[in-house]
């Protein structure tokens, strides 16, 4: 498992671009036939990818760094289907996840097995936080997620925000998770920008066609840094950092938060004119 340390904003300001990427970007998460995990000390979140091949299920392993027999001994886990479909079997109960469906798996779960469904591509994105009170495992299909339309085509930020795991949806200890999808012609996410000093947030961009890129912006509002990201790259946003970006076409991303509270609207809005 890769380990990323927590960062102070003053250290990040002058980091060379390669070091900035090493600290905050997680790429190559989706390797055929493998489980890839990244641990960040920012709110002790873990993200990763599992890509089972047809006929070869993958059982979630607990990395040595967690010092726990099973991955969910002290953790809750969210699984998002980024591919076409696949199944997740949680303590013997099988759930089928279609594209953009999310499965919440509670702390105390003993076994999690990922499998492909025939020839469909199964690409499971994993996001986890510490948890000490096992909430029930729950499948939230895309069509059952809380849905909000926001932004405007005239400012190229028309988008749909789907919330799967949140205070009024699937219950969790810390995780708040959803998916935002930009409409054709709209490219700006999370615009106008915000911070939330009470929560870390991680974005995983997907649905970006071949040949396109995302310009992701992080850093303190008056000292921003830019990262060029590709399809299925993730980027860690410490609680002090803005997190917004623009694509060369429309795209979607999974956002997941953990920390002090679960109030989605607890954001400190930042005027576009205050960015530097």
Ligand X SMILES: O=C(O)C(=O)C[C@H](O)C(=O)CO
- Measure the N-to-C terminal CA separation of the chain; round to a whole number of Å: 35
CB of residue 44 to ligand X, shortest distance in Å: 19
Determine contact, residues 203/238, Cβ cutoff 8 Å: no
Q: Which helix (H) or strand (E) holds 163?
A: strand 159-165
Kindly tell me which of 152 and 268 has the beta carbon lying closer to Zn ion. Answer: 268
Contact between 159 and ligand X by CB under 6 A: the answer reads yes
Out of 201, 207, 213, 256, the only residue in the binding site for ligand X (CB under 6 A) is: 201
Residue 188's nearest CA partner among 261, 118, 272 is: 272
Looking at the DSSP bridge assignments, the partners of residue 46 are 39, 128
120 within 8 A of 86, measured Cβ to Cβ: yes
Buried b (16+ CB within 10 A) or exposed e, 9-45: eeebeebeeeebbebbbbeebbeeeebbbbbbebbbb
86 vs 259, which CB is nearer to ligand X? 259
Q: Is 255 in the site for ligand X (CB under 6 A)?
A: yes
Any contact of residue 190 with ligand X (CB under 6 A)? yes
For ligand X, the closer of residues 70 and 212 by Cβ is 212
Closest distance of CB 178 from Zn ion, Å: 11
Site for ligand X in 219-248 (CB under 6 A): 243
Contact flag: residue 254 with ligand X (CB under 6 A): no
Q: Is residue 43 part of the contact set for ligand X (CB under 6 A)? A: no
- Does the footprint of ligand X cover residue 251 (CB under 6 A)? no
Contacts with ligand X, residue ranges (CB under 6 A): 159, 161, 180, 189-190, 196, 201, 243, 255, 267
């Amino acid at each position: 498992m890769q380990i990323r340390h927590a960062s102070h904003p003053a250290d990040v300001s002058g980091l060379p671009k390669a070091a900035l990427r090493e600290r905050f970007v997680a790429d190559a998460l989706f390797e055929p036939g493998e489980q890839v995990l990244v641990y960040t000390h920012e709110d002790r979140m873990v993200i990763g990818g599992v890509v089972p091949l047809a006929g070869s299920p993958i059982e979630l392993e607990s990395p040595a760094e967690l010092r726990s027999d099973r991955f969910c001994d002290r953790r809750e886990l969210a699984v998002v289907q980024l591919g076409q479909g696949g199944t997740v079997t949680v303590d013997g109960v099988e759930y089928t996840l279609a594209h953009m469906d999310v499965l919440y798996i509670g702390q105390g779960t003993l076994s999690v097995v990922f499998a492909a469904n025939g020839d469909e591509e199964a690409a499971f994105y994993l996001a986890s936080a510490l948890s000490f009170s096992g909430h029930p495992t729950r499948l939230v299909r895309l069509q059952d997620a809380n849905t909000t339309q926001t932004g405007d085509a005239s400012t190229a930020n028309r988008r749909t925000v789907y919330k799967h795991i949140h205070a009024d949806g699937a219950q969790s200890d810390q995780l708040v998770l959803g998916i935002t999808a930009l409409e054709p012609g709209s490219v700006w996410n999370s615009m106008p920008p915000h911070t939330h000093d009470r929560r870390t947030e991680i974005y995983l961009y997907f649905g970006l066609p071949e040949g396109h890129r995302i310009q992701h912006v992080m850093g303190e509002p008056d000292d921003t840094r830019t990262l060029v990201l590709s399809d299925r790259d993730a980027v860690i946003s410490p609680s002090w950092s803005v997190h917004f970006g623009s694509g060369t076409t429309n795209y979607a991303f999974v956002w997941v938060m953990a920390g002090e509270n679960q109030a989605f609207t607890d954001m400190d809005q930042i005027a576009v004119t205050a960015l530097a």
